[in-house]
A and B are shown apart, each in its own frame.
Chain A
Amino acid sequence: MSFPWAKQYEPKHPLMRYLDEKLPMPRLVYNAIGSGYPVPRNLNYMWNFGVLAGFCLMLQIVTGVVLAMHYAANSQVAFATTEHIMRDVNWGWMLRYMHANGASAFFVVVYLHIFRGFFYSSYKAPREMVWLLGVVIFLLMMATAFMGYVLPWGQMSFWGAKVITGLFGAIPVVGEPIQIWLLGGYAPDNAALNRFFSLHFLLPFVIAAVVILHIWALHIPGSSNPTGVEVKSESDTIPFHPYYTAKDGFGLGVFLILYFAMVFFLPNYLGHPDNYIEANPISTPAHIVPEWYFWPFYAILRAFTADIFFGLIPAKLMGVLAMFSAILCWFFLPWLDKGPVRSGHYRPLFRKFFWFGLIPTMLVLFYCGGAPAEEPYVMLSQLATAYYFLHFLVILPIISSIEKPEPLPYSITEAVLGKDEAAQLGDSADTAK
């Protein structure tokens, strides 16, 4: 689907005409990310992060496949083969640092991408499916990243795996058998390491498949935009190529500078020193912390310190339920946040709760998740967790029914060029199309 004014693919070269007849792959690309995809003309730089996330996925797959050629998923040698990669494999240190920091970079851009979705309510109709698939990708990413962190078989790998798989033990009655079945033993060992490696190799390709669905679903209604006003006429859009390919190219350059600065100058900054100690099942680290991208959810897990209903739901189970619900509730956002206006720019009440409620809450949860389980961090994360659930499940539904939005521009063109110009485009734009 596309807007009626979308440019049509017209292969000129006979070879391309032949290919278009037999396998219209170039046509697909042309309509997906080429001149055949009309995009609102007013996207700001927050709209760069989708492309960057796709880039990160490819980067992780390429570096990961090469690393897998030199790594051995066996608990006896996994730590040593990781060091073999760092010391003896040609440019192995660079591949490994690119992969480890690539995971962090992937989460940075995806968190910004989600942040964009929250502020501009990109999840609202008609883009619910895009949002749902996006949350699925995020969940798959978390699973993949968790299993990848186990592979070097350092202390944090081992104890992180033990804590996270231990969560399944919180399920009443069947919890423990499920945990043993998942791990292939009573504690993480060779069986667990092997299956984690297998799944860590598989899941990125599953992610890639869901990304294709995510983009497919996006192309049905077309991209959203900062005003939240839908496309009304041809003057509201510009072709993806060359306008957004050029803009994304610049964004990619800035991203790569920051990313490679980390890879070459601070490659271990986001890691934990304990993971350079080989896994030791009989020595527990003083503080077990997951990677930074799990901190907000780890804080929610640890916030539940008291049994509920006089012990009917133990604290641990409650924490596990809350941690998963913290992300699962995003699935319902399109129906919880009902108002017709999308962009936070025109939603005064939503904006207040967003900037002074949700964002500080996320920062507090992030900080507390990385801190040891001591006061005042536990109490802070309890208050922040309470607000987190209130925000998504109570405040958003209420706001969307009582809020009086500010007046919207008539169209995207008007928002860009102003009313007085009578939505007039420059002459050169016509020739550019």
Chain B
Amino acid sequence: MIRIFGILAGLFFSLSVLWAFISGAIAVAPVLGEYGQFTEPMADKVFHEKHPPALHLQSDGPFGTWDLAQLQRGFQVYKEVCAACHSLKFVAFRDLEELGYDKGQVKTIAAGFQVPGVDPNTGEATTRPGMPTDYFPSPYPNEIAAKAANNNAVPPDLSLMAKARHGGPAYIHAILTGYGPEPEALKQQFPDFKVPSTGHYNKYFPSLAIAMPPPLTAEGQVSYAEGQPKPTIEQMSTDVSAFLEWTAEPKKVKRTQTGWPVLGFLLFATILAYLAKKQVWAALKPKKKHTA
């Protein structure tokens, strides 16, 4: 009885889904020539570069380490360029000690930022110089102010940006260097496509039109300390991507460095476990017959 009900239920589900398959197939039939495209492709589907070019950082891979000089340069780019619009709310000034700054330097950096505070005499909201325990302040008092200042687009917080996009730091680097004029092929193929007046063409951005104006426009926009590489747009983009890789996961290098001894111990323990298993099970093997 269960089997008869089972067969009926099975046929019901299978036939229903096949019905959906057939109705779908009928809908597709007129454009079967271009299987898989119900409508004309959109400009952003054709011209969007889905995969950012590879970016190699010293922190990559299971043996990666932080390039502290690069992280300091990246922090400088963030502070002098990105911080004008983007917050970094999960990073505290004290965390900067991990980039090789000493306590005094961190204090100075923190004091350079104005953070929200309360006037001790009047109790009114005001600002005060930051302390190492403070977090990076937002450049806007609230979201409405952020929208108002940026044509209705809120500049996202950058703390986790390197983990929140496919490609991570490579994506950030690609966006920073992916600006340019609309290609001629795009104008010919999609005459209707238009970057809105508040947008900027960027081939790595999913809609091809990003609200952020090109932030790094000229070599030497940030002046690096002596002995550091030349601050080309490429160099600054790479440095700030490396910095944001650190802000996204400050414990990344500690993680991979912890991994090796753990795996080493487990490998050793597993070999022992295998030998123990072999020895225990050897007792079960039938004794070989003595052949003459």
- Whether B259 and A379, one on each chain, are in contact in the complex, defined by CB atoms closer than 8 angstroms, is no
Shortest Cβ distance from residue A88 to the other chain B in the assembled complex, whole angstroms: 9
Does A274 sit at the interface, judged by CB under 8 A? Answer: yes
- Whether B24 and A382, one on each chain, are in contact in the complex, defined by CB atoms closer than 8 angstroms, is yes
Does B190 sit at the interface, judged by CB under 8 A? Answer: no
Residues of B within 8 A of A386 (CB): 13-15, 17-18, 21
Give Cα A84 to B266, complex, Å.
29
B155-167 vs A: 1/0 string, CB under 8 Å? 0100110011110
Does B144 sit at the interface, judged by CB under 8 A? Answer: no
Interface centre among A261, A306, A336 (most CB of B within 10 A): A306
- Given A274-B164, A378-B24, A389-B14, are A265 and B273 neighbors across the interface (CB < 8 Å)? no
Give Cα A256 to B259, complex, Å.
12
Which residues 147-173 in B have Cβ within 8 Å of A in the complex?
156, 159-160, 163-166, 168
- Whether B251 and A93, one on each chain, are in contact in the complex, defined by CB atoms closer than 8 angstroms, is yes
Residues of B within 8 A of A431 (CB): 283
- Given A382-B24, A397-B6, are A261 and B17 neighbors across the interface (CB < 8 Å)? no
Residues of B within 8 A of A332 (CB): 2, 6
Which B residue sits closest to A247, measured CB to CB? B277
- Whether A427 and B284, one on each chain, are in contact in the complex, defined by CB atoms closer than 8 angstroms, is no
Q: How large is the interface on A (under 10, 10 to 19, 20 to 34, 35 or more residues)?
A: 35 or more
- Whether B284 and A238, one on each chain, are in contact in the complex, defined by CB atoms closer than 8 angstroms, is yes
Shortest Cβ distance from residue A307 to the other chain B in the assembled complex, whole angstroms: 9
- Whether B270 and A250, one on each chain, are in contact in the complex, defined by CB atoms closer than 8 angstroms, is yes
B190-223 vs A: 1/0 string, CB under 8 Å? 0000000000000000100000000000000000
Which residues 329-379 in A have Cβ within 8 Å of B in the complex?
329, 332, 335-336, 338, 374-376, 378-379
- Whether B255 and A264, one on each chain, are in contact in the complex, defined by CB atoms closer than 8 angstroms, is yes
- Whether B270 and A257, one on each chain, are in contact in the complex, defined by CB atoms closer than 8 angstroms, is yes
Which A residue sits closest to B22, measured CB to CB? A306
Q: Out of B6, B20, B250, name the residue touching A336 (CB < 8 Å).
A: B6
A contact face: mostly helix, strand, loop, or mixed: helix
Give Cα A313 to B20, complex, Å.
12
Does B62 sit at the interface, judged by CB under 8 A? Answer: yes
Does A392 sit at the interface, judged by CB under 8 A? Answer: yes
Does B108 sit at the interface, judged by CB under 8 A? Answer: no
Shortest Cβ distance from residue B251 to the other chain A in the assembled complex, whole angstroms: 5
Stretch of A163-171, A208-216, A417-425 with 4 or more beta carbons under 8 angstroms from chain B: A417-425
Which residues 21-43 in B have Cβ within 8 Å of A in the complex?
21, 23-25, 28, 35-38
- Whether B266 and A260, one on each chain, are in contact in the complex, defined by CB atoms closer than 8 angstroms, is yes
Shortest Cβ distance from residue A334 to the other chain B in the assembled complex, whole angstroms: 9
Does A286 sit at the interface, judged by CB under 8 A? Answer: yes
Shortest Cβ distance from residue A103 to the other chain B in the assembled complex, whole angstroms: 18
- Whether A276 and B283, one on each chain, are in contact in the complex, defined by CB atoms closer than 8 angstroms, is no
Does A428 sit at the interface, judged by CB under 8 A? Answer: yes
- Whether B17 and A322, one on each chain, are in contact in the complex, defined by CB atoms closer than 8 angstroms, is yes
Q: Out of B90, B164, B283, name the residue touching A432 (CB < 8 Å).
A: B283
Give Cα A325 to B11, complex, Å.
13
- Whether B283 and A428, one on each chain, are in contact in the complex, defined by CB atoms closer than 8 angstroms, is yes
- Whether B258 and A264, one on each chain, are in contact in the complex, defined by CB atoms closer than 8 angstroms, is yes
Does A94 sit at the interface, judged by CB under 8 A? Answer: yes
Shortest Cβ distance from residue B124 to the other chain A in the assembled complex, whole angstroms: 25
Does B9 sit at the interface, judged by CB under 8 A? Answer: yes
Residues of A within 8 A of B165 (CB): 273
Q: Out of A252, A383, A417, name the residue touching B286 (CB < 8 Å).
A: A417
Q: Out of B62, B206, B258, B277, name the residue touching A246 (CB < 8 Å).
A: B277
- Given A86-B249, A379-B25, are A306 and B20 neighbors across the interface (CB < 8 Å)? yes
Does B117 sit at the interface, judged by CB under 8 A? Answer: no
Which B residue sits closest to A431, measured CB to CB? B283
- Whether A304 and B263, one on each chain, are in contact in the complex, defined by CB atoms closer than 8 angstroms, is no
Shortest Cβ distance from residue B282 to the other chain A in the assembled complex, whole angstroms: 8
Does A185 sit at the interface, judged by CB under 8 A? Answer: no
Does A35 sit at the interface, judged by CB under 8 A? Answer: no
Which A residue sits closest to B15, measured CB to CB? A386
- Whether B287 and A257, one on each chain, are in contact in the complex, defined by CB atoms closer than 8 angstroms, is no
Does A415 sit at the interface, judged by CB under 8 A? Answer: no
- Given A428-B283, A432-B284, are A382 and B20 neighbors across the interface (CB < 8 Å)? yes
- Whether A260 and B90, one on each chain, are in contact in the complex, defined by CB atoms closer than 8 angstroms, is no
- Whether B90 and A393, one on each chain, are in contact in the complex, defined by CB atoms closer than 8 angstroms, is no
Residues of A within 8 A of B20 (CB): 303-306, 315, 382
- Given A286-B206, A428-B283, A432-B284, are A246 and B276 neighbors across the interface (CB < 8 Å)? yes
Give Cα A304 to B38, complex, Å.
18
- Whether A265 and B256, one on each chain, are in contact in the complex, defined by CB atoms closer than 8 angstroms, is yes
Give Cα A382 to B263, complex, Å.
42
Residues of B within 8 A of A83 (CB): 90, 159-160
Does A41 sit at the interface, judged by CB under 8 A? Answer: yes
Shortest Cβ distance from residue A431 to the other chain B in the assembled complex, whole angstroms: 8
Which A residue sits closest to B7, measured CB to CB? A394
Q: List 26 A-B contacts (CB under 8 A).
A: A83-B159, A87-B251, A94-B255, A97-B255, A246-B273, A250-B276, A253-B274, A257-B263, A260-B262, A263-B259, A264-B255, A265-B259, A286-B206, A305-B20, A315-B20, A322-B16, A375-B28, A379-B25, A386-B15, A392-B10, A393-B6, A394-B14, A428-B287, A429-B283, A429-B284, A432-B284
Smallest CB-CB A-B distances: 5 pairs: A393-B10, A264-B259, A253-B270, A276-B164, A306-B20
